[in-house]
Amino acid sequence: MAPLTPLAAKHLAIGIAFHWAYQMATIRAFKHGDFSAVYPVMRGTSVLLTAIGAAVLLGESFPPIKLAGLFIASLALTQFRKSASPAHRSALLWALLTAFTIGAYTVNDGAGAKAAASGISYVVWFFAIEAFPVTLTAILMRRGRFVRACRAQWRSAMIAGVMSFVGYGLSLIALRLADVSEITALRETSVVFAALMGVFILHENFGRRRIFAALALAAGLIFMQLGG
């Protein structure tokens, strides 16, 4: 595994802190609010925050069409929630904090991946270190319950770990190759896939508003590509 450049190592250390904050805020948001209301808020808002951060810190350009696409995509993403089950105020505050941490770690990780000599080495270093802070926090806060949870859910944890490694690992490589704002907007199409899985797997009611939101999201991404 290739060593990181000093600049990439600096971004890695900052990113680990941001990811820990993101995980803590996400847990709080899901604890206090409904998933279908909280998740779109945190993911949708993060697109706009990341775009602003990429423009200010990384010098990415935003022509009017591209900027319009970002706003359309962000607004569309916030519509993927159940209108009959709004999240509690505290949950929304935690969701907004989560969105801020997503924007912060995405911009930082994009800079770190670009500064690394190898995208693969940055991914490996990231996942080799990132698990320690949150695991230590879980051990200190849950104590005996942490061990029992590991014994009962180790298969699910391993599957989630592999999916996380592959999913965010690919995102880190993509951040190295393209503009951070574009990759972020594409990542947040996960809300669309989640809604579709809810229809075909969980048999949830998609709803007219979500259909229009999906179309608006697609339009926003098209505007982003046209303005790139």
Give the three-state DSSP class for 54.
helix
* Tens digit of each residue's pLDDT (9 = 90 or more) over 61-101: 778 887 888 788 878 877 766 554 555 678 888 988 998 99
Q: What is the pLDDT of residue 174?
A: 86
Cα-based distances in Å from 190 to 44, 77, 167, 193, 216? 10, 10, 11, 5, 15
With bands split at pLDDT 50, 70 and 90, how would you rate the model's confidence at 37?
low
Query: Phi/psi of residue 84, each to 5°?
Result: -85, -5
All structural domains of the chain with their residue ranges: 6-227
CA angle at residue 71 from 19 to 221, to 5 degrees?
85
* Tens digit of each residue's pLDDT (9 = 90 or more) over 175-198: 888 877 777 777 767 777 766 776
Are 127 and 170 in contact by the 8 Å Cβ rule? The answer is: no
Q: What is the pLDDT of residue 22?
A: 94
